[in-house]
Amino acid sequence: MQPGGPGIPQCNARSPSLFTINTWLVCSLLANIFVAIIFPFCKRVPLRYQMKVKVIARNPDDYVRETKLDIQRVPRNYDPSLHPFEVSREYTRALNATKLERVFAKPFVASLDGHRDGVNCMAKHAKSLSTLLSGSCDGELKVWNLSKHECVRTLQAHEGFVRGMVVRYCGTSFFTVGDDKTIKQWKMESPGYGEEEEPINTILGKTVYTGLDHHQNDPVFATCGQQVDIWDEQRSSPIRSFTWGVDSFSSVHFNPVETELLASCASDRSIVLYDMRESTPLKKVIMTMRSNTLSWNPMEAYYFTCANEDYNLYTYDMRYLAKPIMVHMDHVSAVLDVDYAPTGKEFVSASFDKTIRIFAKDGGHSREVYHTKRMQHVICIKWSADNKYILSGSDEMNIRLWKANAAEKLGVLAPREREAANYSQKLKEKFQHHPQIRRIARHRHLPKTIYHQTKELRVMKEARRRKEKNVRKHSKPGSVPVVSEKEKHVVTVVK
């Protein structure tokens, strides 16, 4: 409070001057007037004299533009009775959006070339999205920077094929196995200037290793070959070995959630499950044809999908191996590799028929097929950890980078662009079962050979089905039971 402010009597030791007394008088007069005249009106008016007045309330936030460049806001009434043609209008928009999606479906992003032999295996970095490792059939290993589409490091890892590779969970080193019967551990950093490119660790085994995987959070890894071995990183001999009367394994994979569990595919057409803490394998399922590899669902980790030689993929529930929960068909040749999306909702498969297909985890047929004229047998496939890209390594020495969602626009989207994409996505979902829209959305152009092979396979399958039906018709009732497609491919489960 300022001294001598209006209406405030100043506290003074000397006798008050005439001026301050005058001021004080005026103030008290004003106060009296306020109390006598204005104050009664300020009291609450009794309820019976109150009147309700409705006013139009306008919140400027609802109609004022934030900047001059914004579009004018138009108030809308969403009452459906005011929009009688909404559905037909939306249908037209959905049709338009579906057509545009097919027009803009350009999944191929880039090709990484540099290998001098077919790409045999790839590994994602555990921490860095832009790093990819690839190993080829001549033992060469390359580290790629995916954002620049270029190779940042090349080393001769093995003699003969690089059979498998995996990045340690911390991302500071990686392991490779090769045809020269060795397991090598390498540093992730490139060697400094003048330093030799040398592994940190080399283990010479007795037999050829064909696959390898690392534990999620322990310094333990597993290899497969003639048997499945569990290794401690500090030791040069396996801490555990599993065999089950089979001659060789093609791949081994740790479960991403139950981290002590692992599964492997064997050449006697079986898929074997192990618990690392036990000394014997848990159980196995024998199928009619050999599985090449498998991939665990990262979200529902009791499911895994295996890529089979009989052109199909099978999703199994680990707890119930008697029958796969889904058979995924569409490939027209052996399926060589499979990898799940980090969301666990979809997976991608690579096949000897020179195509890549994307399946929903519970979809019997693929939602997408990728191919190019130059791509040969696709040997390995990876789905990137940001769920946006797919990487495929093929026979003709190239690694290809694809979009996981073919029509997605890359780069930063403006808010309105994002809204528009969101809206058309919703429209497409809403009208997806309309025949016209479904036909357009499902249509894919296929290379002639694959198109004809698909047709041929369909005829063969139909013939088999017809024959079975006829046999059943002319046999004793019940002697030719109906076997479902899911049960057909499983021979037995052994515990």
**Residue 116 interacts with ligand NAG (CB under 6 A): yes or no:** no
Q: How far is CA 249 from the centre of its chain?
A: 27
Q: Which stretch binds ligand NAG (CB under 6 A): 140-148, 185-193, 337-345, 429-437?
A: 140-148
**Residue 207 interacts with ligand NAG (CB under 6 A): yes or no:** no
Measured from the CB atom, is 65 or 418 closer to ligand NAG? 418
Q: Which of 267, 422, 470, 475 binds ligand NAG (CB under 6 A)?
A: 422
**Residue 73 interacts with ligand NAG (CB under 6 A): yes or no:** no
**Residue 148 interacts with ligand NAG (CB under 6 A): yes or no:** yes
Residue 122 C-beta: closest distance to ligand NAG, Å: 15
Residue 90 C-beta: closest distance to ligand NAG, Å: 10
Q: Which stretch binds ligand NAG (CB under 6 A): 15-23, 142-150, 201-209, 486-494?
A: 142-150
Q: Which stretch binds ligand NAG (CB under 6 A): 3-11, 143-151, 235-243, 245-253?
A: 143-151
Buried b (16+ CB within 10 A) or exposed e, 327-344: bbbbbbebbbbbbbbeeb
Nearest to 364 by CA among 430, 315, 301, 307: 315
**Residue 154 interacts with ligand NAG (CB under 6 A): yes or no:** no
Q: Which stretch binds ligand NAG (CB under 6 A): 213-221, 331-339, 418-426, 487-495?
A: 418-426
**Residue 22 interacts with ligand NAG (CB under 6 A): yes or no:** no
**Helix/strand/coil for 110:** strand
Give 416-422's long-range contacts (Cβ < 8 A, gap of 24+): none
Residue 144 C-beta: closest distance to ligand NAG, Å: 9
Cβ–Cβ < 8 Å for 317, 305: no
**Which residue's structure tokens are 């009794």?**
46
Q: How far apart are CA 438 and CA 428, in angstroms?
A: 9
**Residue 65 interacts with ligand NAG (CB under 6 A): yes or no:** no
Residue 146 C-beta: closest distance to ligand NAG, Å: 7
Q: Taking phi first (over 0 means left), then psi (-120 to 50 degrees means alpha), and beta for anything else, what does residue 411 get?
A: left
**Residue 333 interacts with ligand NAG (CB under 6 A): yes or no:** no
Measured from the CB atom, is 131 or 305 closer to ligand NAG? 131
Residue 53: Cβ-neighbour burial (10 angstroms; 0-12, 13-18, 19+): exposed
**Residue 134 interacts with ligand NAG (CB under 6 A): yes or no:** no
# chain residues binding ligand NAG, by CB under 6 A: 12
**Residue 187 interacts with ligand NAG (CB under 6 A): yes or no:** no
Cβ–Cβ < 8 Å for 357, 330: yes
Q: Which of 147, 279, 280, 484 binds ligand NAG (CB under 6 A)?
A: 147
**Residue 168 interacts with ligand NAG (CB under 6 A): yes or no:** no
Q: Which stretch binds ligand NAG (CB under 6 A): 92-100, 319-327, 393-401, 455-463?
A: 92-100
Q: How far apart are CA 415 and CA 433, in angstroms?
A: 29
Q: For residue 349, how many other CB atoms are within 10 A of its CB?
A: 26
Q: How far apart are CA 360 and CA 480, in angstroms?
A: 33
Q: Which of 65, 73, 187, 418 binds ligand NAG (CB under 6 A)?
A: 418
The DSSP bridge pattern shows strands 368-370 and 356-360 to be antiparallel
* Separation of first and last alpha carbons in the chain: 90
Q: Which helix (H) or strand (E) holds 298?
A: none
Measured from the CB atom, is 201 or 422 closer to ligand NAG? 422
Three-point CA angle 92, 102, 354, nearest 5°: 155
Q: How far apart are CA 200 and CA 185, in angstroms?
A: 6
Cβ–Cβ < 8 Å for 283, 318: no
Rg (CA), the chain: 36
Q: Which stretch binds ligand NAG (CB under 6 A): 101-109, 127-135, 272-280, 445-453?
A: 127-135
Measured from the CB atom, is 71 or 482 closer to ligand NAG? 71
**Residue 145 interacts with ligand NAG (CB under 6 A): yes or no:** yes
Q: Which of 130, 156, 343, 436 binds ligand NAG (CB under 6 A)?
A: 130
**Residue 366 interacts with ligand NAG (CB under 6 A): yes or no:** no
Q: Taking phi first (over 0 means left), then psi (-120 to 50 degrees means alpha), and beta for anything else, what does residue 125 get?
A: beta
Cβ–Cβ < 8 Å for 143, 402: no
Q: Which of 17, 22, 32, 92 binds ligand NAG (CB under 6 A)?
A: 92
**Residue 96 interacts with ligand NAG (CB under 6 A): yes or no:** yes
Query: In sequence order, what are the beta bridge partners of 252?
Result: 264
Measured from the CB atom, is 125 or 328 closer to ligand NAG? 125
In one-letter notation, the amino acid at residue 67 is T
Q: Which of 120, 131, 136, 255 binds ligand NAG (CB under 6 A)?
A: 131
Residue 111 C-beta: closest distance to ligand NAG, Å: 17
Q: How far apart are CA 485 and CA 487, in angstroms?
A: 6
Q: Which of 27, 93, 325, 480 binds ligand NAG (CB under 6 A)?
A: 93
**Residue 10 interacts with ligand NAG (CB under 6 A): yes or no:** no
Residue 448 C-beta: closest distance to ligand NAG, Å: 32
Three-point CA angle 490, 264, 154, nearest 5°: 135
Q: How far apart are CA 283 and CA 263, in angstroms?
A: 10
Binding site for ligand NAG (CB under 6 A): 92-93, 96, 128, 130-131, 145, 147-148, 418-419, 422
